[in-house]
Amino acid sequence: MMKKSLKSRNNDLANTQRQLEILSNGIFADGELPTFAKKLKETNQFPLRPKKLEILQINLGYMCNQVCAHCHVDAGPDRKEIMTTETMEQCLEVIQKTGAHTLDLTGGAPEMNSNFRWFVEEASKAGIKDFIVRSNLTIIRANKKYYDLPEFFKKHNVHVVSSMPHWTRGKTDKQRGDGVFDKSIEALKMLNAVGYGIEGTGLQLDLVYNPSGAFLPGDQAALEADFKKALKEDFDIIFNSLFAITNLPISRFLDYLIASENYEDYMYSLVEAYNPMAVENVMCTNTLSVSWDGYLYDCDFNQMLNLKVASKSQHISEYNEELLKNRNIIINQHCYGCTAGAGSSCQGTVA
């Protein structure tokens, strides 16, 4: 397992321009595979345009207590980028006037932002219907100051979405680090203890699965059934839903693909699995992503490639819904990951 982010290791792929060069050249430049724009044109879906804004996804910082092998954020303890209260206040102003019904807080580990609880409390007053926090689970057991997070989440009726690569220790620790599985199980038990995942409580606990290698996820419903059976039998843990997410060929996963000589084969798999039905509901059409420093992106993945929205309104401080509604969505070859098979988004499959 890697111990530091690509950025801290001065890895070539810490440069987003280098990632974009790889995605735009080679098998796509020579026409061996069609670019994503060409594929959209073939199915009369170009350009991609936003629909009604439903989800505001806010990245509170790239700092994390883990250094996961697949992380598209390149998060870790060494990443110091963190959202300030000034930017949070600008986000709160937008939350109060936008039509978005879901607030999705992510990171890194969003809980590691020192103003996380204040922000949740303030945002809770804004009338958001679905308040999501994407927790890596182990943060709950990382330090005593986080032990009461399950109670805090319950108090604010937070919808907890947590990464769980597999129901076995070996596969989970291989992707996320030694000891992660056991701490994740402890955290899930703590969440169950306060009512999360329990029928009738209204406290939603969902898990996120993404493959550990250079392959696409299996059927989401079948995976959910397997996860539920194994976690219940082995640990008496229950949860609501499982989201199966395709790994996009960016950041650390791109690094893995290149190092393992799987890049071209993986891109072939994504292109061959292209599903025009999935295009209709990709997350960039109903979601706006806000970076730790307040810039606006069509999705979380574009944020990690530094592909800002194609609009004069590019920062949360100058948010303009009319301008943003009339933009074209920025695309590149990584977008194949969201349109392969049943599709993929932060909410799981889309087709």
Q: Parallel, antiparallel, or unpaired: how do β-strands 55-59 and 287-290 relate?
A: parallel
**Three-state secondary structure along the chain?**
CCCCCCCCCCCHHHCHHHHHHHHHCCCCCCCCCCCHHHHHHHCCCCCCCCCCCCEEEEECECECCCCCCCCCCCCECCCCCECCHHHHHHHHHHHHHCCCCEEEEECCCHHHCCCHHHHHHHHHCCCCCEEEEEECCCHHHHCHHHCCHHHHHHHCCCEEEEECCCCCHHHHHHHHCCCHHHHHHHHHHHHHHCCCCCCCCCCCEEEEECCCCCCCCCCHHHHHHHHHHHHHHHHCCCCCEEEECCCCCCHHHHHHHHHCCCHHHHHHHHHHCECHHHHCCCHHHCEEEECCCCEEECCHHHHHCCCECCCCCCEHHHCCHHHHHCCCCCCCHHHHHHCECCCCECCECCC
Residue in this structure with the two tokens 């609009």, named with its chain if needed: 311
pLDDT of residue 80: 97
What's the pLDDT band for 57 if we cut at 50, 70, 90? very high
pLDDT of residue 182: 97
**What pLDDT, in 10s, does the model give residues 3-35?**
899 999 999 999 999 999 999 999 999 999 999
What is the distance between the alpha carbons of residues 105 and 102, in angstroms, rounded to a whole number?
Answer: 10
What is the distance between the alpha carbons of residues 331 and 232, in angstroms, rounded to a whole number?
Answer: 41
pLDDT of residue 126: 85
pLDDT of residue 342: 82
What's the pLDDT band for 255 if we cut at 50, 70, 90? very high
Domains, the chain: 6-349 (3.20.20.70)
**What pLDDT, in 10s, does the model give residues 294-330?**
999 999 999 999 999 999 999 999 999 999 999 999 9
pLDDT of residue 12: 97
Kindly state the tokens that stand for 175: 């992707």
Angle (CA) 93-96-100 rounded to 5° is 115
Is residue 207 within 8 A of residue 242, CB to CB? The reply is yes
Is residue 64 within 8 A of residue 75, CB to CB? The reply is yes
Kindly state the tokens that stand for 203: 């406290």
pLDDT of residue 99: 81
What's the pLDDT band for 129 if we cut at 50, 70, 90? confident
Does residue 88 have a pLDDT over 80?
Answer: yes
What's the pLDDT band for 346 if we cut at 50, 70, 90? confident
Kindly state the tokens that stand for 87: 């930017």
pLDDT of residue 285: 96
Does residue 212 have a pLDDT over 90?
Answer: no
Does residue 345 have a pLDDT over 80?
Answer: no
Is residue 197 within 8 A of residue 171, CB to CB? The reply is no
Query: Which neighbouring-strand residues pair with 59?
Result: 106
Does residue 351 have a pLDDT over 70?
Answer: no
Is residue 59 within 8 A of residue 291, CB to CB? The reply is yes
pLDDT of residue 279: 94
Q: Residue range 88-105: average pLDDT?
A: 93
What is the distance between the alpha carbons of residues 55 and 289, in angstroms, rounded to a whole number?
Answer: 9
pLDDT mean across residues, the chain: 95
Does residue 2 have a pLDDT over 70?
Answer: no
pLDDT of residue 348: 66
Does residue 282 have a pLDDT over 90?
Answer: yes
* Cis preceding-peptide flag for 108 (omega within 30 of 0): yes
**What pLDDT, in 10s, does the model give residues 139-188?**
999 999 999 999 999 999 999 999 998 999 999 988 888 999 999 999 99
Residue in this structure with the two tokens 């038990």, named with its chain if needed: 189
